[in-house]
Structure 1
Amino acid sequence: MSEPDFRYLNRPTRRTEDRRLVTGRGRYVDDVAIPGALHACFVRSPHAHARIVSIDASDALALHGVVAVVTGRDLAQWTAPLRMAPPIEGLVPVEIETLPTAVARFQGDPVACVVARDRYIAEDAAERVLVEYEALPAVTDMWQALEPGAPQVDPMVYGNLVSHQVFTAGDPAAAEARAHRVVEAHFSQQRQTHVPIETRGCAAVWDAGRGHLTFHVGTQVPHPLRTQLATRLLLDESQVTVISPDVGGSFGQKIALYREELTVAALARELRRPVRWREDRLENLTAAANSREDFCRTRAAVDAHGTLLSLTLELREDFGAYCFFPANYLARVVAMIVTGPYRISDYAYDVKIALSNKCGNAPMRAPMSITSWVMEGTMEAIARELGLDPVEVRRRNLIAPHELPYRTPTGERLEDITPGETFEGVLRAIDYEAFRMRQRDARMRGHYLGLGLCNVVEPTTYGSRFYKASGIPGSGHEASWVRIEPGGMVNASVGLGPSGQGYESAMANAVAEGLGVEPARVRIHMGHTDIAPYGMGSRGARSGTAGGGALYLCAREARHKVLAIAAARLDVSVQSLRMIDGRIEYCGGGNTTAGHPLWRETGLTLADIAQSAYLDPTSLPAGLTPGLEFHLAYDPPAMTYSNSAHACEVEVDVATGAIRVARYVVAEDCGTLLNPTVVEGQQHGAISMGLSGALFEHVVYDETGQNTTGSLAEYLIATATELPNIEIIPMHTPNRTTAAGIKGMAEGGVMGALGALTNAVNDALAPFQVVAWQHPLTPMAMRDLLRGRTARTRGD
């Protein structure tokens, strides 16, 4: 079926889940009523690094309503440690206890857990647990961590270097030797955290009679989390059910099985009573998970016209105290795809990941967020150093349509992308030449406008072959089932874990398109491991291609059987039938109108076929089994890419350092859209998150390892007041290798916003001959950058 033939895909419709969510009828973990549930509260280390000398819980246990106080030594008897040791060259194995038994590694590290009748008693009792610590020297940043003689964060990781990978394609050194110029650029992204509206929480119910655990938790990956939970509790997976109801945001924070969640599950089993836990905002900001904090340096060898001859990347990342994910994973993706839509054959990278006495890292929406800023900032640096127009430098180096499919120096295959088209599309939308005239006029009046451009190639699928080729453990397939009920309604499921993205609406459209029914007749079931098929869950931007693709293909299989049954009843060929909105139509005998097939009603509906399939199976054609239930697993291509071009116009008040985003435009190609309404929401959300991170968000640790941003008064996030209206130019083209041409999207907006905003700020400050290369771009940072500087001329 070609794109113009789609009846439900590429058509905007309202999100069906919004009715319950915006009217307060959503069902989150805290809405799950569990009679008799106890409440857990964790005792956390006030030190960034300290030996646990002793824990005295006697005063806490004396408080009426306290049921138990447990420590790492108790949990070591009930659970298995997490061993993160994938066979990757340069990656050091690590092992994590459920709760630390000897040493706390960051401020907020949980060292004990109090269980009480209610949350208030548990919190009061936690303050009565007396922990004696012996403070140890702390490592507070990645540069210090890698110095000789630095304090050791993890005894298994010598020198705190947990991962080191190098790669070379071609001969970058030879390219530099013959280059007209070698341009160096720096990029530093600050430590951030996810700030979901709903913080982490869970509820565990142990059925001693059945030996079965029911675990309610907001998660992006229900099945992988069930596997981890069963493994750590020494149970079979059949003994664990994970139920993830509505989730109030995640952004990557709710993928790992955290130590607090494992503790709650273990307590429910040991106490034989339900136990629940909900962290407060302070805990979330200081102890849930951090992300970002990386530094990049590029060296670009170029000719006199700005043509790239080679690129070398040095990347350093601070991974915090614990590795709940392979430490190489996030930075490795940056290094693999940093060349983006540009023509480069000679390329090398050196990636080092350090441990520090900070909260451990987790993926955050666009874990490779710095990628496009690095590449686009490098293009800007080339233009500055050679005195060229940054637009022309990009045009000279962009991969041309006739060069696709294009093999990047790291072996990634770029195909069915349109970077040149989206770039030109956004330039037309902003009227580049007219802006430059406005900018010159504004500078004459002492106003400093800037325009930032950023081309993005976003990885979206992460198929199994990607993981295999990159040496990262995991699978990229997705599983689905579709069941047509006897009355003609359709139930469907996929192994994704929604956290507010609008999956119910989007996935219903995928099923409707594949089967031939109205989306309103489709019910999507996710987040329950006893119902949904085993899938890899939601991470990256894989849900559209892998999850939507699996449902679309499964629904097509269902349609084939429905039409086969209908063809037997009508005594016609299957090829002469189709199903539209649940009605069977026939076209035969060469009937046409104006050259188009003439379809006519047969009087049969999906409900008629379903009744026969279930209630009159002897009437089915030979070879067809009763019922209409279908299962399909889909492993998409190793990687697919969507692409976009971002343009950001800013004004910088050089007196105060304040940055005002005046206009934001993005031209995007993300293939066939499951639901344009959902896609637009994802684009707005991703861009807003990128702008917020670049302007405000910053997890700050002092020199002793104390987190000084433990509330939303210190950890700032953008609100509607600071964010611009976002103009979206759809320029979608289908992917020819995926189901229905889906490409996926959701993280490219973050990537584009970082680069477009920063490039805009540097464009505005060009007369002062300064370059902002560190985030966040706060007014204080801008004033520091401009201190002692004056503009060269008012008119340049």
Structure 2
Amino acid sequence: MSGDTLFTQIGRALPRKEDRRLLLGKGRFLDDIVLPGALHVCFVRAPLAHARIVGIDSAEAQALPGVIGVFTGADLARWTTKLRLEPAIEGLHPVQMTALPIDKVRFQGDPVACVVATDRYVAEDAAELVVVDFEPLDAVASFEKALEPGAPLVDDSLPSNLVSHQTFAAGDVAARRDEAFSIVEARFGLHRHTHAPLETRGCLADWDAGREHLTFHIGTQAPHPLRSQLAARLKLAESQVTVVSPDIGGAFGQKIALYREELCVAALSRHLGRPVRWREDRLENLTSASHARESVCRTRVSVAADGRILGLELWLTEDFGAYCFYPANYMARVVAMILTGPYRIADYAFDVQVALTNKCGNGPMRAPMAITSWVMDGTIDAIAARLGLDPVEVRRRNTIRVADLPYTMPTGEVLEDVTPLETLEAAVAAIDVPGFRARQAEGREQGRYLGLGLCTVVESTTYGSKFYKAAGIPGSGHEAAWVRIEPSGAVNASVGLMGSGQGYESPLSQAVAEGLGVTAEAVRLQMGNTDVAPYGMGSRGGRGATAGGGTLYLCAQKAQAHVLRLAAHVLNLNDATGLRLREARVERLLDGDWQPTSLTLADLARTAYLDPTALPAGMAPGLDFSLTYDPPPMTYSNATHACEVELTPATGELRIRRYLVAEDCGTVLNPIVVRGQQQGAVAMGLSGALFEEVVYDADGQNLSATLGDYMIATATEMPEIEILALHTPSRRTPAGIKGMAEGGIMGAIGALSNAVNDALAPFGVVADQMPLSPQRLRDLLRGATSKNAGKVPPK
């Protein structure tokens, strides 16, 4: 909790409401929704990364019993509009795409045609019979190849594969280089990931020809924005489309955009006048759904003799894949804007380049800015190593202090109510750095190589509309909510978010309960239906607590104020001063104590609905309230991660001995849910840093298209995660909420990498490319053998 003892519902450790149905097997996922006569879709996908489509022969497939039809890009183009992204951002090229490729495919797995059949298995069999005549083209499968002179164009409408390029400078980094005691350079390579949710993508479209209305069932994090795009691309009014999101088995950012397959299913339902459904298999998900990351950062930092940073320069390159479902500068620009994070840096410049390649297109994945904290704290460690200084002391000298707040980053971002020095000191004390150094030295004498890594995170959690505007990214950061008290006193509430496993129902109910003055158990939350929920921006970017919970809290406060006006009237009081609701009963402040009255929320609700003549003059019947809220441009939480590892040089085996997080995420709505999000984010970060990697060969062939090749950590590989709660409320958000859920990934990547490099220090090598697999670590150590033969232990 925030330490505010006035909260009675916020901060309670309540079980997650959705867990009962999920653990009993009573959840309602997409495949549990059955519509009689629904047809099934299977997509024909390109086996080549880059090729012209010469012709498509579907005769044999069409002849298979049960096949309704085979449809191509030309068919879909008649029923849908193109997706065009053209935000007015200097250095960003506009791009567009059709529902399915018509002229050429751009990556292995690109959908070329779709088969509709009465049965999924028939559809899959028929897809195998569709013959596509391809004219192979040279593929570009890396950022470097994409920018070579004369490289084949991924998108023929662009002048080159460099789809986005932005630069920025604040202060005078050249002058800082001239006056620096030392110039330190470092490199950080974050590899390509994919989301791998437990439940793959899928949808069920049902066109009602009589009402001219589409009901679209889909697991989506952002129901309303998806509805807007779906309606526009089908040339329908938004009132003709209802998006219904059932329970979702994981998303992590992969279920925000409207993908081409989903658009095709909706268009086919309208064209055929029948329900149509699609569920991708794991191979499709790993190759064709959406990828993320794959960026390289290089830093050059000018430093004083004591390790103080004078100036920082960043060069960031990102491989964005073949298609843009988001503006191509989106993820990379956020990294560059918030890079300086918890450190005092005035002179800063960046150069950000994003290229298209013949790979699956990129999108946001939990913590799109994941590389940020690794880059900054890895640069700090590089400074300490170059100057022979204590890494902890270098951090202390550069970290923002409470006295510095509010602190304006060189990009204009403002930090308020953050505590990076406090979390650093707490983590350093808890991990016992002097004790570790003694054990590390003793271990090296015995041929055991321990490493300690620290990483301080400033996590961007709630992107307000002003942030998008300043970053040149189209979009709104507002959220909307309604709270309705029924005639019986029952409380319903809704918000534009949609959960995909985070456990929203309890903490958001607690925000409503706190604002209204009832118990969280009495609140029922309605999410995921665009006909029921107000238009909100959905779940993304760690905004659930601050934007979602904050909006519900404010709306519930609005409801309580109205109810208390009615209570004052019933009690023959002049106004509602000295009245409050607690656990659905009106209380009155008398002689400094809160005393219960005879009125309950149910009493007042009956009056509001069923006895309008008893209402005060000017008060309308009913108790239905709505509110929209646009958060500050950005809300930040912060944490410091500490990781202790042991490296076996002979095999490259890496074991995590200890992991802890000192975290400040403001007012905690529900500590059980927050702890789960902290642990889950750290686990996801460690899994990605150690095991997960999407691998393409030089021809653009995906070599990691099964879960046998795309490895994901299990519980046996994860350490116990110790969490130190150091929460302080924000003064600019409702209830002091700051939010969290992505910073654990940022910290895990940085802390683990820094720990590995601490263990590698005796060998004179640096791991600057992930994943930190045994093979990569062994390759590093083999390269070190000739230069550091005496330091490499015998095999």
**Mapped partners of 2:187, 2:5: distance in 1:** 45
Distance in 2, matches of 1:783 and 1:642, equals: 37
1:680 aligns with 675
CA–CA distance in structure 2, aligned partners of residues 522 and 271 of structure 1 = 41
2:614 to 615, 619, 643: 619
Change (3 A) 1:759 1:561: same
1:755 to 750, 760, 766: 750
Deviations 1:491-515 (A, max 9, x none): 0000002101111111100000000
- Counterpart of 1:465, as a letter, is K
Whether the 8 Å contact between 1:494 and 1:525 is mirrored in structure 2 is yes
Q: Distance in 2 between matches of 1:503 and 1:400?
A: 33
Partner of residue 231, structure 1? 232
Q: Following the alignment from structure 1 to structure 2, what is the Cα–Cα distance between the partners of residues 110 and 750?
A: 32
* Alpha-carbon distance in 2 for matches of 1:390, 1:288: 41
Q: Does 1:54 align with 2:55?
A: yes
- Report the alpha carbon displacement of residue 792 of structure 1 after superposing the two structures with TM: 6.0
CA contact (8 A) 2:380 2:391 kept: yes
1:576 to 566, 575, 578: 578
How far apart, in 1, do the equivalents of 2:253 and 2:789 lie?
42
Q: How much identity, in percent, do the aligned residues show?
A: 65
Q: What CA distance in whole angstroms lies between the structure 1 residues aligned with 2:490 and 2:129?
A: 56
Kept after mapping to 1: 8 A contact 2:117/2:123: yes
**1:8 — aligned with what?**
9
Match of 2:298 in 1: 297
| SS of aligned partner of 2:715 | coil
Structure 1 counterpart of 2:485:
484
Instruction: Spell out the pairing of 1:281-292 with structure 2 (5 A cutoff).
Output: 281-292=282-293
Structure 2 residue 381 is the aligned partner of structure 1 residue 380: yes
Q: Which amino acid aligns with 2:621?
A: P
Q: Shift of residue 61 of structure 1?
A: 0.5
Measured after TM superposition, the shift of residue 159 of structure 1 is: 1.8
Aligned AA for 2:540? R
Deviation at 1:2, TM superposition (A): 7.9
Note the 1:171-190 alignment, pairs <5 A.
171-190=172-191
Shift of 1:11: 2.1
State the alpha-carbon separation in 2 of the partners of residues 3 and 319 from structure 1.
45
1:725 and 1:792 map into 2 onto residues whose CA distance is 35
SS of the aligned residue for 2:607 comes to: helix
1:23-172 alignment, distance < 5 Å? 23-172=24-173
Partner of 1:532: 533
SS at match of 2:463: coil
Q: Does 1:214 pair with 2:215?
A: yes
How do 1:781-796 residues align onto structure 2 when only pairs under 5 Å count?
781-787=776-782, 788-789=784-785, 790=788
* Structure-2 residue corresponding to 1:643: 638
Aligned residue among 719, 723, 726 for 1:724: 719
Q: Which residue of 2 aligns with 1:666?
A: 661
8 Å CA contact 1:444–1:794 kept in 2: the answer is no
**Which is worse superposed, 285-294 or 621-630?**
621-630
Aligned partners of 1:310, 1:416: CA distance in 2, in Å?
Answer: 25
1:794 Cα deviation from its structure 2 partner = 9.8
Superposed displacement of residue 237, structure 1: 0.4
- 1:508-543 Cα offsets, whole Å, 9 max, x none, are 000000001011100000000000000000110111
Question: What is the rounded CA distance, in whole Å, between the counterparts of 2:732 and 2:774 in structure 1?
Answer: 46
SS of 1:127's partner is helix
1:369 maps to 370
Aligned residue in 2 for 1:600: 595
**Which whole-Å deviations, capped at 9, do the CAs of 1:391-442 have from their partners, x for residues lacking one?**
0000000011111000000000000000010110111111111111111111
Deviation at 1:324, TM superposition (A): 0.3
Please state how far the C-alpha of 1:622 moved relative to its aligned partner.
1.6
- Measured in 2, the distance between the counterparts of 1:622 and 1:673 equals 40
Contact 2:225 2:537 in 1 (8 A): yes
> Is contact 2:478-2:537 (8 Å) kept?
yes
Which position in structure 2 is the counterpart of 1:247? 248
Q: For the Cα contact (< 8 Å) 2:512–2:556, is it kept in 1?
A: yes
Write out aligned runs for 1:160-559 (5 A).
160-559=161-560
Tell me if structure 2 keeps the 8 A contact 1:767–1:791. no
Give 1:170 shift.
0.4
Instruction: Provide the C-alpha distance between the structure 2 equivalents of 1:682 and 1:157, rounded to a whole number of angstroms.
Output: 41
Query: Could you tell me how far apart the structure 1 residues matched to 2:407 and 2:24 are?
Result: 48
Give a deviation string over 1:133-159, Cα, whole Å, max 9, x none.
Answer: 010000010111011111110012222
Residue 446 of structure 1 contacts residue 794 of structure 1 at CA under 8 Å; is this kept in 2?
A: no
Structure 2 residue matching 1:460: 3-state secondary structure: strand
In 1, are the aligned partners of 2:319 and 2:356 still within 8 Å (CA)? Answer: yes
Larger CA deviation: 578-587 vs 344-353: 578-587
Q: Give the aligned residue type for 1:150.
A: A
Q: Which runs of 5+ in 2 are unaligned?
A: none
> Does structure 2 retain, via aligned residues, the 8 Å contact 1:145–1:356?
yes
SS in 1 for 2:314: strand
2-structure distance, mates of 1:647, 1:794? 26
Residue number in structure 2 paired with 1:594: none
- 8 Å CA contact 1:286, 1:707 repeated in 2: yes
Deviation at residue 10 of structure 1 after TM alignment: 1.8
Residue 736 (structure 1) aligns with: 731
Q: Distance in 2 between matches of 1:22 and 1:472?
A: 40
Distance 1:422 1:189 in 2: 26
Which amino acid in structure 2 is aligned with residue 352 of structure 1?
A: Q
Contact 1:445–1:794 (Cα < 8 Å) also in 2: no
Distance in 1 (CA, whole Å) between partners of 2:726 and 2:487 is: 41
In the aligned structure 1, how far is the partner of 2:596 from the partner of 2:169?
63
1:779 matched to 2:779? The reply is no
For the residues of structure 1 that align with 2:418 and 2:150, how far apart are their CA atoms?
48
SS in 1 for 2:325: coil
Q: Structure 1: how far apart are the matches of 2:335 and 2:343?
A: 15
| Contact preservation (8 Å) 1:563, 1:578 | yes
- 3-state DSSP of counterpart to 1:599: strand
Distance 1:603 1:332 in 2: 57
Q: Secondary structure at the match of 2:717?
A: coil
Q: Please say if residues 763 and 792 of structure 2, whose CA atoms lie closer than 8 Å, have aligned partners that are also in contact.
A: no
Q: Which moved more, 1:274-283 or 1:608-617?
A: 608-617
- Residue 793 of structure 1: CA displacement? 6.0
Separation (CA, whole Å) in 1 of partners of 2:289 and 2:107? 12
Q: Secondary structure at the match of 1:686?
A: helix
**CA contact under 8 A between 1:458 and 1:641: conserved in structure 2?**
yes
Residues 207, 274 of structure 2: 8 Å contact kept: yes
- Residue 791 to residue 405, structure 1, CA distance change in 2 (3 Å): farther
Distance 1:158 1:658 in 2: 46
Residues 763, 791 of structure 2: 8 Å contact kept: no
Distance 2:3 2:358 in 1: 54
CA deviation after TM superposition for structure 1 residue 583, in Å: 1.1
| Residues 1:769 and 2:783 are matched in the alignment | no
- SS at structure 2 position matched to 1:134: strand
SS across alignment from 1:451: strand
What TM-score, normalized by structure 1, do the two folds share? 0.98
Question: Normalization by structure 2: what TM-score?
Answer: 0.98
d(CA) in 2 for partners of 1:536, 1:794: 54
CA–CA distance in structure 2, aligned partners of residues 794 and 342 of structure 1: 36
What secondary structure, in the 3-state scheme, does the structure 1 residue paired with 2:577 have? helix
- Do 2:227 and 2:243's aligned partners in 1 also have CA atoms closer than 8 Å? yes
Q: Which amino acid aligns with 1:599?
A: W
Instruction: For 1:47 and 1:27, locate their aligned partners in 2 and report how far apart those are by CA, in whole Å.
Output: 37
Give the count of matched residue pairs: 788
For 1:11, the aligned partner's letter is: R
Query: 1:183 touches 1:299 (CA, 8 Å); kept in 2?
Result: yes
Q: Distance in 2 between matches of 1:244 and 1:687?
A: 27
Cα distance in 2 for residues equivalent to 1:441 and 1:9 = 47
